[in-house]
Amino acid sequence: MPNVTLMIATRKGAWLFHGDQTRRSWRTGGPHFLGHEINHVVLDPRDGRTMVAAGKTGHLGPTLFRSTDRGATWKEAARPPAFSKQEGGRSVDHTFWLTPGHRDDPGAWYAGTSPQGLFRSEDGGDSWAPVSGFNDRPGASKAAGGSQDGTPDGPKLHSILVDPRDRRHLYLGMSGGGVHESTDEGATWRPLIQGLEVVGGLDPANIAFHDPHCIRLCPSQPDRLYQQNHCGIYRLDRPSEQWVRVGKAMPAEVGDIGFPMVVHPHDADRAWVFPMDGTDVWPRTCPGGTPAVYATRDGGDSWQRQSAGFPAGQVWWTVKRQSMTADRADTVGLYFGTTSGEVWASVDEGESWDCIVRHLPEIYAVEAATA
């Protein structure tokens, strides 16, 4: 059984939890960057030792931190993501998402920011440059809902996906602006929104109305993507460009609204979601105060409730889009962090759950590195 390290990003710092062979006992590392808002901590699977963390504080500008010894020591990036300087130009509020590049593109990383911008590093995350092909593409401002690009908590560029078969083939999601695809390593982009629904009464042809929450590509079948969207759960099998709302098979009383989306590392028919209450004023809490993961084994045609180990009721936390993940063990371990600072884990692919960490700050992201 491999060793798993969990990288937990929170509103007040980052923690690393190192699991033993059973994945039931965890050694705590941290806090790192105490007091910083950390949106994402990611290990580079290509070398197994470079980590990048995206942070800011409440009063200072954003930055990135790098480690080349798997989180033992950290150093600030020499040139964090920043937009090009121009009259009335945008400024990065925070880096939200980090993705290591293709295995044949050593040192490459991608970052997504708020306001929504795409950035690339070619030196392991030390210096970053805007991806002009995306940030300055025709219609960029319109796709983002205008120059202000501003939902109240800041729109996020997220879910940057690199096709493991082709370093030139990229996907990304904009929380205000839809799904986009590039086949020339980011030089040009086109929308990928057919079949996606938008809030009732709005025009789905207007990309500014599209709100993907989390998009995942199946490592075992890279032509298959799953998406948790503001308006449902979807699957896409390329080369088709038509997303299919597989969330319609979810129980009606639970619905198919949520933030995270997790795919099985070895079986593209299997995926997990964590639904939230998306009714009336959008509480975004566990539906009915009863937490449950939902799993599919048939590509989303049916969904099974997985709640063994969770409290029976009066639970009002939720799980953000980056806060649920899987390891790569043969029997997959699942992990999620809550807005109330708990980390829950399953070593049997969601059949049963244990709370392995309590009392952290609000959790923004959970990633699992499998050694």
- List of long-range contacts for 67-72, beta carbons under 8 Å, 24+ apart: 68/124, 70/5, 70/43, 71/5, 71/7, 71/16, 71/29, 71/32, 71/41, 71/43
Is 282 exposed, middle or buried, given 0-12, 13-18 or 19+ CB atoms closer than 10 A? exposed
CB of 220 to other proteins, least distance (A): 40
Give the H or E element holding residue 286. none
Sheet order of strands, 13-19 included: 26-32, 13-19, 4-10, 363-370
Return the structure tokens found at 84: 């090009």
Taking alpha carbons only, the member of 13, 26, 12 closest to residue 335 is 26
In the complex with other proteins, the residue whose CB is nearer, 84 or 279, is 84
For 193, residues 6+ apart whose C-beta sits below 8 A from its C-beta are 178, 179, 204, 207, 210, 243
Q: Is the dihedral of CA 77, 183, 244, 203 positive or negative?
A: positive
In the complex with other proteins, the residue whose CB is nearer, 21 or 84, is 84
Paired with 272 in beta bridges are 262, 295
In the complex with other proteins, the residue whose CB is nearer, 61 or 313, is 61
Q: Are 231 and 247 in contact (CB under 8 A)?
A: no
Q: How many CB atoms lie within 10 A of CB 183?
A: 14
CB of 90 to other proteins, least distance (A): 8
In the complex with other proteins, the residue whose CB is nearer, 117 or 337, is 117
- Whole-number Å distance between alpha carbons of 318 and 307: 14
- Whole-number Å distance between alpha carbons of 165 and 221: 10
In the complex with other proteins, the residue whose CB is nearer, 22 or 86, is 86
CB of 304 to other proteins, least distance (A): 40
CB of 316 to other proteins, least distance (A): 19
CB of 34 to other proteins, least distance (A): 11
CB of 119 to other proteins, least distance (A): 12
Backbone φ and ψ for 342, nearest 5 degrees, come out as -105, 150
In the complex with other proteins, the residue whose CB is nearer, 78 or 355, is 78
For 329, residues 6+ apart whose C-beta sits below 8 A from its C-beta are 1, 2, 4, 23, 370
CB of 37 to other proteins, least distance (A): 10
For 142, residues 6+ apart whose C-beta sits below 8 A from its C-beta are 207, 208
CB of 141 to other proteins, least distance (A): 16
In the complex with other proteins, the residue whose CB is nearer, 24 or 75, is 75
Is 314 exposed, middle or buried, given 0-12, 13-18 or 19+ CB atoms closer than 10 A? exposed
In the complex with other proteins, the residue whose CB is nearer, 114 or 346, is 114
Binding residues for other proteins, per CB under 8 A? 57-61, 63, 76, 78, 80, 82-86, 89-92
In the complex with other proteins, the residue whose CB is nearer, 83 or 308, is 83
CB of 129 to other proteins, least distance (A): 12
